[in-house]
């Protein structure tokens, strides 16, 4: 759960940097509030607090859903972990709903009334990010941030090709499943897969090398911001949100350094003053080196016929 939260929050941070509007000013909808959704929301709140918002102010920026619709006080089947995410009835009392008097508030109605600028799905409801919803979202922001994160591909809330078509190529898209690049106005747009593999190797390396006694929330946030800092979109707003997974080794070193230093700052690890921490990390990493080999046949040749194995 925490790994998913970290990589998702990192990718959202990269995306909102490309929009030019800080996270603390975004209106966010998390479609699905199981363990993954709750974890993402908790880390987003902490990130907003680091940007100066109070916890209550951060919560006002986030709209969470269960299978019935927007979580509002009194919504059916809310779990204990979802109760803090529920909106007060007064928050939505003056909203204009597409179905007046509806018992539940739909995703479209939230996008329309709240002016959603960031939308992430962990619902496993394929196709739930419809053209109507996405086009409405694009009315509120020039660069919608849309992450259909459910996997496998068959459960994705939308396909990148559709999201980019419905937003005239403006959407910033991250997915939970792998998707091929999408051609937009003659250029290939690589779709970043928001995968835990960007976080866990570096997180584990930082913990092991620092000797951290336990993992703090700050260490996950350090991993999150370290990954976000590597986004190609920081220097090119049309670039992918995440670096290529082929760079996993170098990515993991950056994440590990941030995690280990945060462990030291949090007082859950003892510093080794003899060697710089980055050198400790590099010494710990196993580098696969393979000896050159030449295939040798076990077949014995017949001295008379020069044939092998009687052939």
Helices (H) and strands (E) in the chain, counts: 10, 9
Q: d(Cα 178, Cα 195) in Å, to the nearest integer?
A: 9
What pLDDT, on the 0 to 100 scale, is given for residue 212?
A: 96
* Chain segment 116-153, per-residue pLDDT in tens: 999 999 999 999 999 999 999 999 999 999 999 999 99
More confident call, 238 vs 229: 229
Q: Are 39 and 129 in contact (CB under 8 A)?
A: no
**10 Å Cβ neighbour count for 93?**
7
Domains belonging to the chain, first-starting first, are 2-194 (3.40.50.720), 196-289 (3.40.50.10380)
Helix 200-210 × helix 248-265 angle, to 10°: 40
Q: d(Cα 107, Cα 4) in Å, to the nearest integer?
A: 22
* Chain segment 28-75, per-residue pLDDT in tens: 999 999 999 999 999 999 999 999 999 999 999 999 999 999 999 989
* Chain segment 249-292, per-residue pLDDT in tens: 999 999 999 999 999 999 999 988 889 999 999 999 988 888 88
**Which residues are bridge partners to 184 per DSSP?**
187
What pLDDT, on the 0 to 100 scale, is given for residue 218?
A: 96
Kindly tell me if the per-residue pLDDT of 115 is higher than 70: yes
Q: Which residue has the tokens 């710990």?
A: 284
Average pLDDT over residues 230-238: 92
**10 Å Cβ neighbour count for 284?**
11
What pLDDT, on the 0 to 100 scale, is given for residue 14?
A: 97
What pLDDT, on the 0 to 100 scale, is given for residue 305?
A: 55
What pLDDT, on the 0 to 100 scale, is given for residue 307?
A: 58
Pair type for strands 145-148 and 69-70 = unpaired
What pLDDT, on the 0 to 100 scale, is given for residue 284?
A: 93
CA dihedral 197, 219, 145, 92 (to 10 degrees): 130
Nearest CA among 255, 203, 202, 195 for reference residue 225: 255
What pLDDT, on the 0 to 100 scale, is given for residue 286?
A: 85
Q: d(Cα 19, Cα 193) in Å, to the nearest integer?
A: 19
* Chain segment 190-228, per-residue pLDDT in tens: 999 999 999 999 999 999 999 999 999 999 999 999 999
Q: Are 119 and 147 in contact (CB under 8 A)?
A: yes
Q: Which residue has the tokens 């003659």?
A: 186
Burial of 121 (0-12, 13-18, 19+ CB in 10 A): buried
Q: How far apart are the first and last CA of the chain?
A: 60
Kindly tell me if the per-residue pLDDT of 306 is higher than 60: no
Q: d(Cα 148, Cα 155) in Å, to the nearest integer?
A: 9
Nearest CA among 41, 247, 240, 244 for reference residue 160: 240
Which range, of 99-103, 129-133, 228-232, 240-244, averages the lowest pLDDT? 99-103
Kindly tell me if the per-residue pLDDT of 308 is higher than 90: no
* Chain segment 152-191, per-residue pLDDT in tens: 999 999 999 999 999 999 999 999 999 999 999 889 999 9
Q: d(Cα 10, Cα 16) in Å, to the nearest integer?
A: 10
Kindly tell me if the per-residue pLDDT of 310 is higher than 60: no
Q: d(Cα 105, Cα 73) in Å, to the nearest integer?
A: 12
What pLDDT, on the 0 to 100 scale, is given for residue 227?
A: 98
Q: Which residue has the tokens 């996950």?
A: 220
One DSSP character per residue, 184-234 reads: ETTEEEPPEE--GGGTHHHHHHHHHHHT-SS--HHHHHHHHHHHHHT-GGG
* pTM > 0.95: yes or no: no
What pLDDT, on the 0 to 100 scale, is given for residue 297?
A: 67
């Amino acid at each position: 759960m925490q790994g998913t939260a970290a990589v998702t929050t990192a990718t959202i941070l990269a995306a909102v940097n490309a929009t030019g509007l800080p996270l603390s000013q975004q209106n966010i909808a998390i479609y699905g509030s199981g363990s993954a959704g709750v974890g993402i929301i908790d880390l987003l709140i902490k990130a907003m607090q680091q940007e100066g918002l109070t916890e209550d102010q951060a919560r006002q920026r986030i709209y969470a859903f269960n299978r019935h619709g927007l979580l509002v006080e009194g919504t059916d089947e809310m779990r204990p972990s979802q109760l803090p995410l529920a909106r007060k009835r007064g928050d939505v009392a003056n909203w204009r709903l597409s179905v007046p008097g509806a018992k539940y508030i739909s995703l479209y109605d939230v996008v329309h009334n709240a002016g959603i600028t960031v939308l992430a799905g962990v619902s496993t409801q394929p196709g739930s990010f419809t053209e109507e919803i996405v086009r409405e979202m694009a009315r509120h922001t020039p660069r919608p941030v849309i992450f259909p994160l459910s996997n496998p591909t068959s459960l994705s809330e939308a396909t990148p090709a559709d999201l980019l078509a419905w937003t005239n190529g403006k959407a910033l898209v991250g997915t939970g499943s792998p998707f091929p690049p999408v051609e937009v106005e003659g250029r290939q747009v690589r779709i970043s897969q928001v995968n835990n593999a960007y976080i866990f190797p570096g997180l584990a390396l930082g913990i092991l090398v620092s000797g951290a006694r336990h993992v703090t929330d700050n260490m996950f946030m350090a991993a999150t911001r370290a990954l976000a800092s590597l986004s190609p979109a920081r220097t090119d707003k049309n670039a992918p949100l995440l670096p290529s997974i082929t760079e996993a080794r170098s990515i993991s070193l950056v994440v590990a350094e941030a995690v280990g230093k945060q462990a030291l700052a949090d007082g859950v690890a003892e510093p080794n003053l003899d060697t710089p921490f980055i050198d400790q990390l590099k010494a710990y990493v196993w580098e696969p080196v393979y000896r050159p080999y030449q295939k040798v046949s076990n077949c014995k040749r017949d001295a008379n016929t020069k044939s092998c194995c009687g052939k």
